[in-house]
Amino acid sequence: MRSIRTIVYTVLIAAVTAVFSLVAAAPAQAAPTFKAPFPCGQRWTYSHHSAEVRQALDFVRNDGGTTAGTPVLASASGTATRYSQPSGAGNYIVINHGGGWTTYYFHLSAYSVPSGAYVNQGQQIGVTGSTGNSSGAHIHYEQLFNGVGQVISINGASLAPYPGSYGSKAITSDNGCGGGGGKAFRTWGTGVLVRADARLSAPPVATLPGPTTVYVLCQKQGDTVNAEGYTNNWWAKLRDQGGFMTNIYIDDPAAVLPGVPVC
């Protein structure tokens, strides 16, 4: 008969082997559902250069807005850490999302959160700039798993194959839009036109027959509108109508809508 010691050793070895088998078979931690690192409603084009580290993409605006000075947003929730590398990445932030996943945001002109802060998806973490080894304002963005660069995906969709220059591919952000996308406002007036752009010459895409609730994704300056005794050159981009309306007919006393990002 085997000794009790031999039986115990056999059981222990079997248990350890089983544990290692489970660890080896465990799947990798699923990636967060990353969103674009810039504000709701904005459209940015992107490119990958051969000299870029890992699987990075560089983003610049191509919706008529200015790249420099635009807020940089957390693409998923996590703990933010600030770094500075004047000869390379410049001012940058790394967000640890847990499960081995991190994102990098390079060349910031300024930080918007302290090092060690927990940030929510869509929260501003910095300002787009050109610090470090950079030839112009842009967001250098990376997604890493266990320190290894991954092909970047936004809302679960891969952005590969990467273009080698700006202009051929672009995405519009839904980051920070809020529940369902956009901030709700009531309108006033009748027969209010929603146009394809913030210009009086832009073609109408919809008409608001009377007061209703609209969801504003972002706002931007455009043609000056004079109506109902008011003057305003700010326009609201509407989620459901797919166009812009003058802020005059948004039922809010402010000319620039509160809590709405700039497109």
Token pair, residue 166, equals 């700006």
- Local confidence band at 29 (pLDDT 50, 70, 90 cut-offs): low
Q: pTM, whole model, 2 decimals?
A: 0.64
Model confidence at 3: pLDDT above 60: no
Q: How much is the pLDDT for 180?
A: 56
Tokens 């080896």 identify what position?
Answer: 24
Cβ contact 83:92 at 8 Å: yes
d(CA 223, CA 205) in angstroms, rounded, equals: 17
* pLDDT tens for each residue of 189-202: 999 999 999 999 99
Sign, Cα dihedral of 166, 163, 121, 98: negative
Of 253, 194, 244, residue with least CA distance to 220: 244
Q: What is the mean pLDDT of the chain?
A: 86
For the chain, the maximum distance between any two Cα atoms, rounded to a whole number of angstroms, is: 102
d(CA 263, CA 247) in angstroms, rounded, equals: 14
d(CA 97, CA 210) in angstroms, rounded, equals: 45
Cβ contact 113:97 at 8 Å: no
What is the CA 3 to chain-centroid distance, rounded? 64
